[in-house]
Amino acid sequence: MLEIIKEPWPWYVAGPLIGLTVPALLLMGNKSFGISSSLRHICAACVPANINFFKYDWKKESWNLFFVLGIFFGGMISTQFLTSSSEIAINPNLKEELASYGITDYSNLVPAQLMNFESIFTLRGFIIMVIGGFLVGFGTRYAGGCTSGHAIMGLSNLQWPSLVATISFMVGGFLMANLILPVILSL
């Protein structure tokens, strides 16, 4: 039984389970699925209430903070106890392309050559971690939510802005993966 848990679940199992969270949250209290709003809740709890953006009843949304903590601790537990000790399996063509950029360590979910403390002081690491992180955070606020909120919750509620946001996320992802990231990795 434990071996079933250690392997990645196929899309036709994981996808419907994620999709079923939307009606479950709606039925259990008219809650919306999304992760990015939790940062606003944390800031509202910590920042004095004299900033208009944080003037709201964040305690009413505290369930979202527990949801995010569950994701965080679930990820930690799964990487400690449920992952195999072998390297991450990736397509041989991708492995060959990544090797041309100096990325050869596949022992973790994120290559160590990209995400480590020392690489933040390189141009490539700074662009990927600092500028990329800022753009993700800015884009999340500008779009009024994250990919999970728009693509899972918004589309299931037939919201036009979520369709536009999801299409924009996908186009941006394709452009980043195929045009921009190879230039950054070659730095």
* 73, 59 contact by CB (below 8 A): no
Q: Identify the three-state secondary structure at position 75.
A: helix
Q: 58 with 121, same domain?
A: no
Would residue 134 count as lying in a domain? yes
> Is residue 122 a part of any domain in this protein?
yes
Q: Which domain holds residue 163?
A: 114-187
Residue 33 lies in a domain: yes
What is the tally of structural domains in the chain? 2
pLDDT tens-digit readout, 126-179: 999 999 989 888 888 888 888 888 888 888 889 999 999 999 999 999 999 999
Indicate if 74 and 151 belong to the same structural domain.
Answer: no
pLDDT tens, residue by residue, 93-115: 988 998 998 888 887 778 888 88
The DSSP letter of residue 87 is P
Angle CA(97)–CA(79)–CA(133) in degrees, nearest 5?
A: 60
Residues 1 and 72 in one domain: yes
H or E stretch covering 104: none
Residue that has been written with the tokens 């196929």 in this structure:
10
Among the candidates 83, 98, 125, a domain finishes at: 83
Same domain, 71 and 27: yes
